[in-house]
């Protein structure tokens, strides 16, 4: 390939373009300034100037969530880079393909405590899939190619590229490499056929099988193959918080979301199963509850691209390592062949038990004691009015759980949230990134009044860059999930959870005035009878962001609930109320 003489900074921009990046979310500073100069002339790379580096990272994550492509963010050294760490850790926890590029002080200054020096490589090593320190301009193209490949293949994750200022300023020959030069990196093993056969043997012997579908089904773009397998099997399935939308909620075999705030049917299915086939799920503590009592009678087939996840929390009887779509296709082919020979499946009693639970304990809510609006109703109507083609991006807390529970997700990449790290402030910048990646879809940021106050400055970014997201602030004037735990476990001692943003308070800040100050449309809804009209009005506004202050009851709680540290068998459907279990299967 022919080469051209350029600066390291120019080489970095050209490398990003060759790697397929089309947008970078970032904020300039001294150590990355050499790269920002050629960025001004980039023909195929859009830069979006954020108001905080954490916003850049979450925006890149939202973009990657919505598109399946690598998200890119950029910051300077020192505090700019450290402000990215939360977003990097968040992306890594949720297996989001992200490349974070940071400037670093000149290589001769490293280790001298120079101005705005921070060992960002050392700091992020525990929370990245891989990271690089580049001190030679000649290494930039290969490093960027490797970074994008590592971030997007196998189990996706976050990759940091830290480039010293002198490497950006030095002259070099730009050559985009043909080879990756990663001889030890083999990210996509083929599933072993013997394990496929063993898994299907267990499935055909099982009386109470259930599929546990996680975020890996979505990251692996395996929804079509997994649906074929589930349909062929006749078994029920549950979708984790990160797996919502992997298969449609309207599918007749869908039991809901398992875990701490899962449906009774989903939690009970796992507890009473004699076989769990987990695809792209990691048996997180929020799903299993007390691990030693989780699914006590179930054999486990654990399918994952990351061998390190196999048997990490729950021992797998049949481990299968590989891409989710390859595993699902292999399982379906083997099952089809075996069923053609003989079919002894009998799930009638199993489905009778599960159907009774679905009918007896559907998700719902009761009228609030204080008479104020139930937040669950707001969120359910948001989903129904906006429709299944929309993208819903939540913050973290009660509104996150209600959004997972009361919105129906019919396709992958329509539900975006911070699952593993649980990062407050995620919603607005992630929604911004999602809208950039999917401009033709309606994007709702469903946020809490606490989360919203952490990153709402990115509304300025949205207005200036014409990114018309819609923000539903579920305003209960408190740190809702913390308040719920204080209610249940701390004798209603509400220590430092009142935010003074809603009913009967000073409204500090007034979210409608705040929206207006940022150049957004600001709406407020305080009555049940105004919910639909307010949402419909927000849907009509497409020329700028919309912020809707839904002032709701502070007393509403997320149910069902499995308290931390207890068995999933102790699931509560309301405070002090447990399901009346039918006879064992």
Q: Active-site residue numbers?
A: 53, 115-116, 165, 481
Please give the span between the terminal C-alpha atoms of the chain, in angstroms, as a whole number: 66
Asked if 141 contacts 15 with a C-beta cutoff of 8 angstroms, the reply is yes
Half-sphere exposure of 276 (CA within 13 A, CB side): 32
Angle between helices 140-152 and 8-19 (to 10 degrees): 30
Asked if 84 contacts 110 with a C-beta cutoff of 8 angstroms, the reply is no
Q: 496: left (phi > 0), else alpha (psi -120 to 50), else beta?
A: left
Burial class (CB in 10 A: 0-12, 13-18, 19+), 102: buried
CA 501 to chain centre: 27
User: What gap in Å lies between CA 341 and CA 197, rounded to an integer?
Assistant: 14
Tokens 């968040």 found at? 90
All residues at 6 or more sequence positions from 7 whose CB lies less than 8 Å from its CB, including other chains: 34, 38, 137, 168, 169, 170, 171, 172
Contacts 24+ apart (CB under 8 A), 291-294: 293/567, 293/568, 293/569, 294/270, 294/567, 294/568
Asked if 281 contacts 257 with a C-beta cutoff of 8 angstroms, the reply is no
- Greatest alpha-carbon span in the chain: 76
User: What gap in Å lies between CA 195 and CA 192, rounded to an integer?
Assistant: 5
Query: Three-state DSSP class for 128?
Result: coil
Element (H, E) at 18: helix 8-19
User: What gap in Å lies between CA 425 and CA 418, rounded to an integer?
Assistant: 10
User: What gap in Å lies between CA 173 and CA 54, rounded to an integer?
Assistant: 33
Query: Strand 209-213 and strand 275-279: pairing?
Result: parallel
CA 213 to chain centre: 14
Closest CA to 234 of 206, 258, 274, 199: 206
């Amino acid at each position: 390939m022919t080469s051209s003489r350029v600066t390291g900074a120019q080489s970095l921009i050209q490398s990003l373009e060759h790697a397929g990046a089309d947008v970078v979310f970032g904020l300039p500073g001294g150590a990355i300034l050499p790269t920002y100069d050629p960025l001004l002339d980039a023909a195929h790379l859009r830069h979006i100037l954020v108001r905080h580096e954490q916003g850049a990272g979450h925006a890149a994550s939202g973009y990657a969530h919505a598109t399946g492509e690598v998200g890119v963010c950029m910051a300077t050294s020192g505090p700019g880079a450290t402000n990215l760490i939360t977003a990097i850790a968040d992306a890594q926890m949720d297996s989001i393909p992200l490349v974070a590029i940071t400037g670093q002080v000149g290589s001769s200054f490293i280790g001298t405590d120079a101005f705005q020096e921070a060992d960002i490589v050392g700091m992020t090593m525990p929370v990245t899939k891989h990271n690089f320190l580049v001190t030679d301009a000649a290494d930039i193209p290969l490093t960027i190619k490797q970074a994008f490949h590592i971030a997007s293949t196998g189990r996706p994750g976050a990759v940091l590229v830290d480039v010293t200022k002198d490497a950006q300023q030095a002259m070099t020959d730009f050559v985009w490499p043909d080879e990756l030069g990663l001889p030890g990196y083999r990210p996509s093993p083929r599933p072993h056929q013997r394990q496929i056969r063993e898994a299907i043997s267990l499935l055909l012997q099982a009386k109470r099988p259930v599929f546990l579908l996680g975020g890996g089904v979505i990251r692996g773009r395996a929804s079509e193959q997994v649906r074929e397998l589930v349909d062929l099997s006749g078994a029920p399935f549950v979708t984790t918080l990160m797996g919502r939308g992997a298969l449609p909620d309207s599918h007749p075999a869908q039991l809901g979301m398992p875990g701490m705030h899962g449906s009774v049917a989903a939690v009970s299915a796992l507890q009473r199963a004699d076989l769990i086939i987990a695809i792209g799920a990691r048996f997180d503590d929020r799903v299993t509850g007390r691990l030693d009592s989780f699914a006590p009678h179930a054999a486990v087939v654990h399918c994952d691209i990351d061998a390190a996840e196999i048997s990490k929390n729950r021992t797998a009887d049949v481990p299968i390592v590989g891409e989710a779509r390859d595993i699902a296709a292999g399982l379906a082919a083997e099952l089809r062949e075996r069923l053609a020979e003989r079919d002894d499946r009998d799930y009638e009693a199993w489905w009778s038990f599960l159907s009774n639970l679905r009918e007896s304990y559907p998700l719902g809510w009761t009228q609030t004691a204080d008479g104020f609006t139930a937040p669950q109703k707001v969120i359910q109507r948001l989903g129904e009015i906006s429709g299944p083609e929309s993208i819903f991006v939540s913050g973290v807390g009660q509104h996150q759980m209600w959004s997972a529970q009361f919105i129906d997700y019919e396709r992958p990449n329509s539900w975006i949230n911070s699952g593993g790290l649980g990062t407050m402030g995620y919603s607005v910048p992630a929604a911004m990134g999602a809208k950039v990646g999917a401009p033709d879809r309606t994007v709702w940021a469903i946020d809490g009044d606490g989360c919203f106050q952490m990153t709402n400055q990115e509304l300025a970014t949205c207005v200036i860059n014409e990114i018309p997201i819609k923000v539903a602030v579920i305003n209960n004037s408190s740190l809702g999930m913390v308040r719920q735990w204080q209610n249940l476990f701390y004798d209603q001692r509400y220590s430092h959870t009142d935010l003074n943003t809603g009913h009967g308070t000073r409204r500090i800040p007034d979210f409608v005035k705040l929206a207006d100050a940022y150049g957004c449309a600001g709406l407020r809804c305080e009555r049940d009878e105004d919910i639909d009209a307010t949402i419909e009005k927000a849907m009509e506004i497409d020329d700028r962001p919309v912020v809707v202050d839904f002032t709701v009851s502070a007393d509403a709680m997320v149910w069902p609930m499995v308290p931390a540290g207890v068995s999933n068998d102790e699931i509560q459907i309301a405070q002090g109320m447990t399901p009346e279990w039918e006879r064992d299967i």
